[in-house]
Structure 1
Amino acid sequence: MGDWWYRNIVEPGKLPLLLALVAFMVTFAMTRFVTRMIRAGRGPFHDVTSSGGHHVHHMVPGVVLMCVGGFGGVALGGRGWAASVTAVVFGIGAGLVLDEFALILYLQDVYWSEQGRKSVEIVVVTVAMLTVLLVGFSPLGVNDVGTGERTGRADLITTAIGNFVLVLICLLKGKRMVAVFGVLVPFLALVGALRLARPGSPWAGRLYRRRPGAAARAERRFLRHEARWGALRRKAGNVLGGAPSDQC
């Protein structure tokens, strides 16, 4: 374990990334806890308002912390305790900002609506991507690597690029959760990329416009999928991000 930690976390300089990920997840969890308490009217928590009476969203201090951590990390370089500190600051800021990703996307306060689930989805995607970077060994930047291991790492890079393309196709086809888990399990990304796109997705809107048969099959498959998994998906979303207002 010690050798793995050194070769894959310490030597490649991934410790700041690990700290940023932990800070990001803790911040998101704490933010959702506080907002749920405010929504329920429990505890000492309350919304922050400016002197003019306007509600100050928590993504505002999040943007400030991201700037401090990001620019500070660039200025200090990727090593040392200072880099770890700026990574934590950046992770906290990113957690605050992405918790309100839906507000940025729709330019309106949809935090407790069905549209607000986009924030939870982007957080899950972010955690999955960062976890992949951490648990895998670093293909670049490690000294004293033999020819055989170097070849293996080149194969890994090629596989990762191919998997990224498949995940991107899944996203274009409107299959966000498949894309998330496809990052960890490439076979899922392959299946998602080969299957029909979801109705309303960018892929369907552009490529199924002149293919009514494919559009009809995609609609039928989507309805069957929602009938089977929709309720479970909504329950999982409620656990992570809280129930939308129309479900309370």
Structure 2
Amino acid sequence: MGHWLDRNIIEPGKLPLLLALAAFVLTFVITRTITRLIRAGKGPFGNVTAGELHIHHVVPGVVLTVVGGFGSVASGGDGLGAAFAAVLFGIGAGLVLDEFALILHLDDVYWTEAGRKSVEAVVLTAALVGLLLAGFAPFGVNDLSQEELQNRAGAAASVGVNFLFALIALSKGKARVAVFGVIIPAVAVIGSLRLARPGSLWARRFYRRRPRARARAILRAYHHDRRWSGPRRAVENWLGGTPDPTPRPLERD
């Protein structure tokens, strides 16, 4: 284990990244545990307030992220200073992304259906950082040969093509595929070739006069969501807690 850590983490200079990821994941787990205890009315924890103002944990998260980010730049990426700054950055990022949905909606949607976006953002970030630790380079640069890397034009063309595939996947309404495609180009290529999701920019532009393609896209999205929405919701509920039930609108006579 020690040999693997030295060869794959310490020697390539990835120790700060590993520390940041560990702090990020641990902060999210601890934060969600505390908020779920507060929600259930258990334990010694409670909301942090200043008078009547509820201080969300995104506030100290922003402060720690700024301090950790600038601290990492000031340390030059080496030594104990860089490691400490990476931990601060990971903690801050964990606090911020745990309330990502609040920032997105500018509303306290933490325990609502919209609050699931926070869990998705945390899982996606942790997965991408894990891929970077594993050695995957953005836009598949690690797949290039030494000769191709020395040829700047060829490397730039490869990055541009991979970016184009990721952009097409994004325009087809496949945000997760596009993000992972930045690290693993094959994912972006597959996502760019498959049917777009209904309502996406690609579908509105290219399926408008193609009713058969539009119908196939709707049918495929229906089957995909029916197959995977249940397991995805179960995992999200396990990670972040079950959202509050959406109140049904009052029926008028």
Does the alignment reach a TM-score above 0.5?
A: yes
CA distance in 2 between partners of 1:201 and 1:80 (Å): 46
The superposition leaves residues 179-209 of structure 1 with CA deviations (integer Å, 9 ceiling, x where unpaired) of: 5665776544432221112223343344444
Who is 2:141 aligned against? none
CA distance in 2 between partners of 1:207 and 1:2 (Å): 54
For this pair of structures, how many residues does the alignment match? 239
Who is 1:215 aligned against? 214
- Greater RCO (Cα-Cα under 8 Å, separation 6 or more): 1
Instruction: Check the 8 A contact 1:129/1:183 in 2, yes or no.
Output: no
Alignment of 1:125-164 (within 5 A): 125-136=124-135, 150-151=146-147
Residue type of the partner of 1:219? I
Instruction: Check the 8 A contact 1:12/1:138 in 2, yes or no.
Output: no
Instruction: Check the 8 A contact 1:175/1:198 in 2, yes or no.
Output: yes
The alignment's TM-score, normalised by the length of structure 1, stands at 0.82
1:245 match: secondary structure? coil
Percent identity, aligned pairs only, is: 59
Q: 1:159 to 1:23 in 2, by over 3 A?
A: farther
Alignment of 1:67-86 (within 5 A): 67-86=66-85
Instruction: Check the 8 A contact 1:172/1:203 in 2, yes or no.
Output: yes
Who is 1:63 aligned against? 62
Measure how far apart 1:118 and its partner are.
1.1
CA distance in 2 between partners of 1:247 and 1:235 (Å): 17
1:246 match: secondary structure? coil
User: What is the root-mean-square deviation of aligned Cα atoms in Å?
Assistant: 3.2
The superposition leaves residues 99-138 of structure 1 with CA deviations (integer Å, 9 ceiling, x where unpaired) of: 1111111111111112111111111111111111111178
Instruction: Check the 8 A contact 1:34/1:45 in 2, yes or no.
Output: yes
Q: 1:227 to 1:32 in 2, by over 3 A?
A: same
Who is 1:115 aligned against? 114
Residue type of the partner of 2:8? N
Instruction: Check the 8 A contact 1:198/1:204 in 2, yes or no.
Output: yes
Who is 2:13 aligned against? 13
CA distance in 1 between partners of 2:168 and 2:66 (Å): 31
Who is 2:40 aligned against? 40
Q: 1:131 to 1:110 in 2, by over 3 A?
A: same
Residue type of the partner of 1:227? R
Structure 2, unaligned runs of 5 or more: 139-143, 248-253
The alignment's TM-score, normalised by the length of structure 2, stands at 0.80
CA distance in 1 between partners of 2:175 and 2:2 (Å): 35
Structure 1, unaligned runs of 5 or more: 140-147
Q: 1:164 to 1:237 in 2, by over 3 A?
A: farther
